[in-house]
Structure 1
Amino acid sequence: MHHTHLDAAGHPRPQLVRDPDWRDLSGPWGFAHDDADLGRRARWMDPGVTAPFTATITVPYPPESPASGIHDTGLHPVVWYRRTVDLTRPAAGRRLLLHFGAVDHRADVWLDGRPVGHHEGGHTGFTCDLTDAVDHDGPHEIVVRAEDQPLDPTQPRGKQDWRRDPHVIWYHRTTGIWQPVWLEEVPDEHLTRVHWTPDIAHARVHCQVRLNHWPDGPRSLTVRLALGERILAEQRIRTDQRETAFDITVPALRHGQDLDDLLWTPEHPHLVDATVTLDDAEGAPLDHVTSYLGLRDIGWNDGLFLLNHKPYFLRFALQQGYWPDTHLAAPAEALRRDAELAKEIGLNGLRVHQKIEDPRFLYWADRLGLLLWEEMPSAYAFGTTTVERVTREWTEAVTRDLGHPSIMAWIPVNESWSVPNPADVPAQRHFMDALYHLTKALDPSRPAVSNDGWEISQADIWGVHDYTQDAATLRRRYGHAALRQGELREQWPGAKRVTLDGAGYHQQPVVLSEFGGATFEPAAGEEWFGYDTVASQKEFADRLSGLVSAAVDSGLAGFCYTQFTDTLQETNGLLTAERAPKLPVAELRAVLTRTRPASG
């Protein structure tokens, strides 16, 4: 059967899909708050213990959200889930896996009272192997305990508020399960990771493959790449390792004048279908998965971003990935719709802010053509625990997502959050720089930024946050060719210096990575946050046009407007929280796609 990337639509793990179909466990689960943390001692995980689970929650929506059916925004550090599912014992040579897309922040999982999994990190997924715990066909009980300490500043929390109610730029918490829960039956020996890193200049794709355990003998891996019906490459290698990395030659990339139908760009997001087959030494099949990739290179030089070795100006907005009824979890079709809306209003990218987004959103960005910056949700206090947690979770995020063509930059720290004094505390600057180097060790193919917004140290992009509402001021600060040599005339456009002492300039692009932020004048008594108010649609249009024009006419390599949609009290979006444009789409598009004058 010929599979294409279209088969990945809606799959919770779109770059590693296998037959037979996966089983979605979204829907009603038993639910309980455990504010006194009694559940472990009272053995709530044991079979038949139903008394505590008096409420019903709709997974995967967090209990703080209306869509969950719980809608309790109070401070509840421990929650429990329970669901009875009919399971069939896997046949010999097969395994049954239970996948969690994300559980915030620490999760323990039991099947019929037997521990089957543990994970810490609220924004990345994990897998539980149920095989040995399924001793009969029929009903089984899955129980999940999630601990999410709302007052812990060393926990990577992003924009989730540590106070009871949202304030300034922080929002309701997202506790517990907030991404898909799903079952999958797999071969006993199977692929757990397939990564793609294209290298257009050298007409090849670098592939990394990982197995679930060390093989007991030689294995064959066959990779096939196709664009529609056109076979681009087919390669077979032999390995006896659990993890294997190799290069796949793509001869079609050698024809330098015939690349438009091959290369991925936001304007032409061509996706290459991939299959990976794992066989034993005798050629007997062990596993078969479908995947996809985009053939594109990300680069930077002379103060410019380069997409496929050509200058490319970034037209981004800040994306919080938050919805009124479901919070950080996404309602049905919302991930696709956000990508479509961004394209419709003229953006070529989004900076996903303080959130590791659901892989299904990355799929739609890949398929529809949208560049993304991926950013680690911050902790708020520096210390050993923060270092341990952020390092572990960021490593999981980067290694999960590095095969997506849409992702063009990694941002481990934002605005010195968790490192409030890197200029004066050497350990904090070492942490920032270490995260940059860790990111580059995991993925040297993309730019990385130690700290976006200000106090830049190690960085392939100099991202500046500047909320001046005066277009003339923006032009004075950034409208000069010297930006291409890293000269930032205004060293304090935000709360702190743009660069730290010793931050070397090596032709990095300078991007206005947060600006704008105007909101319509709120009603009397309405709680709101923005950087300025406008009184009418015309004033909003004039403000937006003036600021964007100043950014486009500058020596900058791109801009990122704050923000894509309103989010709770932060009402400074281009769209409302319900995704309604605040100006006619054609007008927004005209402003956001404005090009530099010919003389520029």
Structure 2
Amino acid sequence: MRLKYSIVAFAICLSSIAFSQTPLITDIGARKTTSLNGKWQYIIDPYGTGFYDYRYQERKENDREAYWTTDVPVDKTDRKEHRFNDKYTLQVPGDWNSQAEKFLYYEGIVWYKKSFDFTKSNSANKVYLYFGAVNYEADVYLNGKKLGKHKGGFTPFNFEVPDSVLKSTGNYLVVKVDNTRHKDEVPTVNTDWWNYGGITRDVQLVEVPTSFIRDYSLHIKKSAALQSLKNIPVEGWVQFNDWQNAKEVVVEIPELKIKKAFPVTGDKVAVQFNLPAVQLWSPQTPKLYNVVINTSTDRISDKIGFRTIEVQGKQVLLNGKPLFMRGICIHEEIAQQGRRAYSRQDALQLLGQAKELGCNMVRLAHYPHNENMTRTADSLGILVWSEIPVYWTVDFSSNEVFEKARTQLTEMITRDHNRASIIIWSVGNETPVNPVRTNFMHNLISAARGLDSTRLVSAALEVNYQPGVNRIDDPLGEFVDLVAFNEYLGWYSGLPDKCRTANWEVVYNKPFFISETGAETLGGFHGDSLTRWSEEYQEWYYREQVAMLKRMPDNFAGVSPWILVDFRSPRRNNQTFQEGWNNKGLIDQKGRKKKAFKVLQEYYNEKAAGK
């Protein structure tokens, strides 16, 4: 019995080492960083040969055949069965599927290697290795030493780099990236989007002092009166690493002539003060203020907006005023190039298209998008629904799967909790109704509120279609702030004229939101309005939907149709009209607007004008 316990304890110890991470550092742009973006060498490894030996056991750290060890032979007699070279490179950030034809449908293991030199500006400083995201599983090695492991394809993570590992010259960083789908992961094996693999977001070395500001939060106090826009109470916190060396923290907003000092008595210091005057952030006036936080050893700055979001009765209130969300769903994809979006230029393209459509809101589906999207939304004045990929049929009975979902939720909220644009955290999409699932999702909602009580929490539910009435009675509706649901009347159910007799019944006395609706068409294919897959059919669909939306009850808070742009999906196998694409976009694969774009644009322009 004692031996059995020792083996279990040893396994747990190994597991904790493999997955160990330092707490996430935020506001990377405000730090001293060194980019590791650019060309990385790679090896495709579908059998996992560089990770497992011939008995399929994980190789030991010093195993000469492990792909994280040096690939340089000692001499000409040395047998090396792996070798990185510049003939095979991938661009980081970027997915591998769009960078070479052989990767188009590849799912599996790819090893990445980056060589670099690095010298700290101050020998006493700490260095962290920060990844914006890697899809899906990343094992990270520096100079042959394992720094750790991360699971989750759309959220950031970082590791502290020990001084004993980092060298001034000749560092080699190796990352095993595995995007293989598994039933017990989040998302699970079954999705309606392409599983792009790779190091899809920025990689940076972050240099900070030993005592540094790890994170902060600043927002208008809930229930604050906003009538005069003067003496507005603000509250939040500043979180430290090695707080004992910081005696006080100073929070400044230079434009508002705010400078407040707070004693540091622990690793998380509460801050609160009043703003003498403030311009609230909104889609009409996306005002951002420069906030500076400093101690005797560290200083960061950020641009944030001040606004409130809440539900009152049957309305969503932004800054105390009723809000109607003119939304659209977006995948993190640049269709013209069939690749993952990642840059600010990509964000400007996608959000610019949404603004042209007349949107004041976007639903970022079905996972957290890159930080350029949320920061650009801040600057453009676009409201954001941000979601984790608890999608369709994850294993709701598994505690391990729940912890993976909660980790992704935590990482999403930690990175973006100071973004004024984000007003809704979503814990999932179209999950099946049963008690086990409802408990799983309710616990995620509670976790979201525990991490951030200043925003709404929701999930995209499904409709209970009944003869004569469409009911939204999912028991999860009891726990969300905004009752959201996906409906496709006229595409998956009947023809678009079915909208004319549709009756909607939401059993919860809350505002409701249509989180998806749409019809699929191949851009450039034309027929009459009854011809499926034609632009005319999609146009008819949207005309009937808009007419129905105009008859909705007064607690109707908005809509985000599916979807802005066509996107890749291996579920879509009509070789005439799909060929591996979900073509429900209002913009097609080549960037051309379909006829339905104008229908929704006209409706949104009317709503914006108050008609």
TM superposition score normalised by structure 1: 0.80
Q: Cα distance, 1:323 vs. partner? A: 2.3
Contact 1:83 1:142 in 2 (8 A): yes
Which residue pairs with 1:207 in the alignment?
A: 236
Separation in 2, partners of 1:293, 1:191: 17
1:374-523 → structure 2 map (5 Å cutoff) = 374-378=386-390, 380-382=393-395, 383-416=398-431, 420-422=432-434, 426-454=435-463, 455-457=474-476, 458-469=479-490, 473-474=498-499, 476-477=501-502, 488-489=504-505, 505=508, 507-520=509-522
Q: Measured at CA, do residues 170 and 593 of structure 1 come closer, stay the same or move farther in structure 2, by a change above 3 Å?
A: same
When residues 442 and 234 of structure 1 are mapped into structure 2, their CA distance, relative to the original with a 3 A threshold, is same
Note if contact 1:205-1:249 (Cα within 8 Å) is conserved in structure 2: yes
Give the alignment partner of residue 258 of structure 2, picking from 233, 237, 245.
Answer: 233
User: Is 1:268–2:266 an aligned residue pair?
Assistant: no
1:139 CA drift (Å): 2.2
Counterpart pick for 1:46 among 69, 85, 98: 69
Q: In structure 2, what is the equivalent of residue 579 of structure 1? A: 591
1:561 aligned counterpart, secondary structure: coil
Which stretch has the larger CA shift, 560-569 or 466-475?
466-475
Aligned twin of 1:246 = 271
Distance 2:355 2:30 in 1: 30
SS of 2:334 mapped into structure 1: coil
Does residue 100 of structure 2 align to residue 101 of structure 1?
A: no
Query: Cα distance 1:330–1:217, how it changes in 2: closer, same or farther (>3 A)?
Result: closer
In 1, are the aligned partners of 2:30 and 2:302 still within 8 Å (CA)? Answer: no
Q: Would the alpha carbon gap of residues 77 and 385 (structure 1) be closer, same or farther in structure 2, given more than 3 Å must change? A: farther
- Distance in 2, matches of 1:345 and 1:400, equals 28
Deviation at 1:412, TM superposition (A): 0.5
Counterparts of 2:609 and 2:261, CA distance in 1: 51
How many residues were matched structurally? 522
Match of 1:221 among 244, 249, 252: 249
Q: Is the 8 A contact 2:129 2:206 kept in 1?
A: yes
Alignment check: 8 A CA contact 1:461 1:511 kept: yes
Q: CA deviation at 1:572?
A: 1.3
Contact 2:460–2:485 (8 Å) recurs in 1? no
Asked if 1 retains the 8 angstrom alpha-carbon contact of 2:26 and 2:414, the reply is no
Give the residue type in structure 2 aligned to 1:551.
L
Q: 1:123 to 1:439 in 2, by over 3 A?
A: same
Partner of residue 374, structure 2:
362
Distance 2:485 2:107 in 1: 37
Pair 1:597–1:139, CA change in 2 (3 A): closer
| 1:153 corresponds to 2:174 | no
Distance 1:83 1:120 in 2: 21
Shift of 1:331: 5.4
CA separation of 1:434 and 1:136: change in aligned 2, threshold 3 A = closer
TM-aligned CA deviation for residue 84 of structure 1: 0.7
Among 22, 30, 36, the alignment partner of 2:47 is: 36
User: What is residue 345 of structure 1 aligned with on the other side?
Assistant: 357
Closer/same/farther in 2, CA of residues 550 and 585 from structure 1, 3 Å limit? closer
101-110 or 243-252: bigger deviation: 243-252
Instruction: State the match for 1:562 in structure 2.
Output: 562
Paired AA for residue 465 in structure 1: N
Q: Which string of whole-angstrom CA distances, capped at 9 and with x for unpartnered residues, describes residues 359-381 of structure 1?
A: 11100000001011111112533
Shift in CA distance, 395/475, structure 1 to aligned 2, threshold 3 Å: farther
Q: How much has 1:356 moved relative to structure 2? A: 0.7
What is the identity percentage for the equivalent residue pairs of Structure 1 and Structure 2? 23
Q: Deviations over 1:13-36 (max 9, x none)?
A: 99453354x332222111112222
| Residue 296 (str. 1) matches residue 307 (str. 2) | yes
**Aligned counterparts of 2:287 and 2:166: Cα–Cα separation in 1:** 46
Cα pair distance change 1:188/1:214, threshold 3 Å: closer
Aligned partner of residue 172 in structure 2, secondary structure: strand
CA separation of 1:472 and 1:105: change in aligned 2, threshold 3 A: same
SS in 2 for 1:276: strand
1:322 aligns to 2:349 (yes or no): no
- Counterparts of 1:518 and 1:444 in 2: how far apart (Å)? 38
The separation in 2 between residues aligned to 1:237 and 1:433, in whole angstroms, is: 36
Q: Distance in 2 between matches of 1:578 and 1:363?
A: 26
1:170 pairs with 2:166: no
Query: Cα distance 1:327–1:170, how it changes in 2: closer, same or farther (>3 A)?
Result: farther
Which whole-Å CA distance do the structure 1 matches of 2:287 and 2:111 have between them?
A: 43
Pair 174,585 (structure 1): closer, same or farther in 2 beyond 3 Å = closer
SS of alignment partner, residue 87 of structure 1: coil
Question: TM-score, normalised to structure 2's length?
Answer: 0.79
- Calculate the aligned-residue CA RMSD, in Å: 2.9
Give the distance between the partners of 1:475 and 1:512, measured in 2 at CA.
17
Separation in structure 2 between the aligned mates of residue 534 and residue 111 of structure 1, nearest angstrom: 51
Distance across 1 between alignment mates of 2:109 and 2:368: 22
Deviation at 1:76, TM superposition (A): 3.7
Distance 1:590 1:381, change over 3 A: closer
Code of the aligned partner of 2:411: E
Alpha-carbon contact 1:98-1:182 (below 8 Å) kept: yes
On the 8 A contact 2:460/2:486 being kept in 1, the answer is no
**Which residue is equivalent to 1:9?**
none
Residue pairs, 1:267-286, within 5 angstroms: 267-279=284-296, 286=297
Match of 1:130 in 2: 161
Amino acid at match of 1:364: T
- Specify every segment of 5 or more residues in structure 1 that has no aligned partner in the other structure, as ranges: 1-11, 163-168, 254-261, 280-285, 479-487, 490-497, 500-504, 525-530
8 Å CA contact retained: 1:299, 1:306? yes
* Contact preservation (8 Å) 1:106, 1:148: yes
Would the alpha carbon gap of residues 137 and 15 (structure 1) be closer, same or farther in structure 2, given more than 3 Å must change? closer
